[in-house]
Amino acid sequence: MTQASRKRKRRCGSGGICGGAVSALKPIALGLAVAAAVAFVFVMIFALVFVIMKAIVASAVLPLSLIALMLGCFVGGWLCGSTAGSKGLLYGLAIGGVVFLAVWLIGITGGAKAFSLLMAVKLVCLLLAGGCGGWLGANRAYTRRRVR
């Protein structure tokens, strides 16, 4: 290891090397948990609205589920970006990508087509929501650091 590469590495409090994939796991895991919880809460709210209305509009189920997933990705990306403090767009895209991958795998096991136009729209929407949330979260963390 050269002198320059040793200078670039950050040291943790316990003497280990910080950075890399291991340090990205904590914000991503936290963001995914929050994204799933927020999406679940919004799905339950939409289901409650359908029960109160006593009529389920079949054409509204798919857009409302996409909205719930997008809100979950946005909040999860925002939390992930603000926790990480930097690379918010990248972390937000990771949140959106993992949520899409979970939805896609659940759809395949349920007997859906491998990939369709609707899945492409979901991919773009979830990546956009997660990326925007991560970017805004990291910028919020950056401005909070700058003010201090």
User: Would 28 be classed as within a structural domain?
Assistant: yes
Residue partners of 87: CB distance under 8 A and separation at least 6:
81, 138
User: Would 6 be classed as within a structural domain?
Assistant: no
User: If pLDDT is split at 50, 70 and 90, which confidence band does 26 have?
Assistant: confident
Cα Dmax for the chain? 70
User: Would 2 be classed as within a structural domain?
Assistant: no
For the chain, the domain total comes to 1
Prediction pTM value: 0.77
pLDDT in tens, 37-79: 999 999 999 989 888 888 777 788 888 999 999 999 999 999 9
User: Would 92 be classed as within a structural domain?
Assistant: yes
User: Would 127 be classed as within a structural domain?
Assistant: yes
User: Would 100 be classed as within a structural domain?
Assistant: yes
User: If pLDDT is split at 50, 70 and 90, which confidence band does 24 have?
Assistant: confident
Range of the domain at 98: 24-147
Per-residue confidence (pLDDT) for residue 16, from 0 to 100? 46
CA distance 101 to 33: 15
CA distance 56 to 4: 63
Per-residue confidence (pLDDT) for residue 107, from 0 to 100? 85
User: Would 73 be classed as within a structural domain?
Assistant: yes
User: Would 50 be classed as within a structural domain?
Assistant: yes
Residue type, 63: P
What long-range pairs does 39-44 form, CB within 8 A, spacing at least 24?
39/68, 39/69, 39/71, 39/72, 39/73, 39/99, 40/72, 42/67, 42/68, 42/71, 42/72, 43/68
